[in-house]
């Protein structure tokens, strides 16, 4: 009987002690919390804020689709900016593009900056531009001009090529395919120099 009374008293005591402990813990959280500074400056420079207000910006954009000739295209970048609110004209930074033709040829392109003009059907890749083909060619140049709707890539400046035949330098390069029935052509011109390396 005494043990039962002890048990009942212990339970009654715990029913009071537990809520009080919880209340004490909550009050310490409020007492020890630091006051929030409401007037802290936003960590952006004034120029950056003005640029963001003027230019529409997308972070990490990705696009994929196909051309009327059946070529598959995918495009991604670190960020995409619509300059001065001009719809259809964009600048992409740290961009990567992939193109697979209907006949199976593949091209991987990378550039620091890509200026896209959808209405004009053009893309200008500048900076550290590189292109890798499925046939084993690694091409580096300062600029590539391409059409958006079909495979037509031009390098107006000197290109450096490392491929199955060896190393090649040329003043210009043109990669194109007239239609999906014809094979992709890669033409080098403007003082072509090939250093042949046999297997």
CA 155 – CA 143 distance, rounded (Å): 6
Residues 50 and 26 in one domain: no
Task: Give the closest residue to 188 by CA, choosing from 174, 178, 167.
Answer: 174
Model confidence pTM above 0.75? no
Q: Looking at the predicted structure, is the pLDDT value of residue 145 above 60?
A: yes
**Is residue 99 assigned to a domain?**
yes
115: which residues sit within 8 A by CB, 6+ positions away? 89, 90, 91, 123, 124, 126
Give bridge partners of residue 143 from the DSSP assignment: 126
Q: Looking at the predicted structure, is the pLDDT value of residue 12 above 90?
A: no
Residues 99 and 126 in one domain: yes
Q: Looking at the predicted structure, is the pLDDT value of residue 1 above 80?
A: no
Give me 55's structure tokens: 């230019």
**Is residue 40 assigned to a domain?**
no
pLDDT at site 181: 65
Q: How confident is the model at residue 149 (pLDDT cuts 50, 70, 90)?
A: confident
Domain extent at residue 60: 46-196
Q: Looking at the predicted structure, is the pLDDT value of residue 176 above 80?
A: yes
Residues 62 and 139 in one domain: yes
* pLDDT single digits (tens) 61-111: 888 888 887 888 899 999 888 876 666 688 999 999 999 988 888 999 999
* pLDDT single digits (tens) 13-64: 777 777 777 777 766 766 665 555 555 555 656 666 566 555 677 888 888 8
**Is residue 38 assigned to a domain?**
no
pLDDT at site 58: 81
Residues 1 and 77 in one domain: no
Number of domains into which the chain is organized = 2
Q: What is the CATH number of the domain that holds 99?
A: 2.60.450.10
**Is residue 37 assigned to a domain?**
no
Residues 140 and 66 in one domain: yes
pLDDT at site 52: 58
* pLDDT single digits (tens) 126-139: 999 999 999 999 99
Dihedral Cα 61, 66, 68, 71, nearest 10 deg = 120
């Amino acid at each position: 009987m005494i043990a039962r009374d002890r048990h009942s008293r212990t339970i009654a005591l715990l029913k009071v002690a537990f809520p009080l402990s919880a209340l004490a813990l909550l009050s310490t959280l409020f007492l020890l919390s630091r006051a929030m500074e409401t007037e802290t400056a936003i960590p952006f420079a004034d120029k950056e804020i003005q640029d963001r207000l003027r230019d529409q910006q997308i972070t990490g954009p990705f696009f994929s689709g196909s051309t009327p000739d059946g070529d598959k295209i995918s495009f991604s970048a670190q960020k995409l900016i619509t300059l001065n609110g001009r719809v259809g004209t964009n600048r992409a930074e740290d961009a990567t593009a992939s193109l697979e033709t209907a006949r199976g040829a593949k091209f991987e392109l990378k550039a620091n900056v890509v200026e896209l003009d959808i209405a004009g059907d053009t893309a200008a890749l500048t900076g550290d531009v590189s292109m890798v083909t499925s046939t084993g060619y690694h091409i580096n140049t300062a600029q590539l001009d391409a059409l958006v709707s079909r495979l037509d890539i031009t390098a107006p400046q000197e290109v450096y090529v490392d491929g199955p035949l060896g190393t090649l330098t040329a003043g210009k390069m043109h990669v194109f395919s007239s239609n999906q029935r014809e094979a992709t052509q890669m033409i080098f011109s403007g003082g072509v120099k090939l250093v042949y390396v046999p297997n």
